[in-house]
Amino acid sequence: MHEVSLVRSIAATLEEAFSAEELMRLTNIKLRVGLLSNVEPVLLQNAFGAVQEGEGKFAGVTLAVELLPILVECEICGHRSQIDNYKFACAHCSRPTSNVVQGNELLIHQVEFSDPLPT
Ligand SMILES: [Zn+2]
């Protein structure tokens, strides 16, 4: 499943960026997912749950998925338009455009940690 491998790559990214002690305190992962990235938030949540249960990783950590709309920038007039229903046209001058400036993202936007335990 596409989403499970995504969750694994997110996990690998976090394990590279943070120490094991820091990851013990991880509470929340915030993702930003563009509408063109073919990621279904519900499936991503399910995959995250499966990895939590199956691999014992990220116990108690929540995953938040923010969907980003598709934005195009018109080559003619420079106007930025949000794309609805996959009609790739400029909202200002109506010219067709496929100059996507947002919508392909799949980013770890933010991670949150609980306070360190007193030593
Ligand atoms: Zn335009």
Q: Which residues have C-beta within 8 Å of that of residue 12, sequence separation ≥ 6?
A: none
The rounded Å distance from CA 67 to ligand 1 centre is: 25
Q: By the 8 A CB rule, do 55 and 43 touch?
A: no
**Mapping DSSP to helix (H, G, I), strand (E, B) and coil, where does residue 106 land?**
strand
Q: Where do the domains of the chain lie, and which CATH numbers do they carry?
A: 2-69+102-113 (3.30.2320.80)
Q: Could you list the mean pLDDT of each consecutive 10-residue stretch along the chain, which spans 119 residues?
A: 87 95 95 93 94 89 96 97 93 96 96 84
Residues with a beta carbon under 5 angstroms from ion ligand 1:
74, 76-77, 79, 90, 92-93
The rounded Å distance from CA 38 to ligand 1 centre is: 26
The rounded Å distance from CA 89 to ligand 1 centre is: 8
- Determine the angle formed by the axes of helices 2-17 and 41-55, rounding to 10 degrees: 60
Annotated binding site for Ni(2+): 2
The sign of the dihedral angle between the CA atoms of 51, 57, 63, 69 is: negative
pLDDT score recorded for residue 55: 84
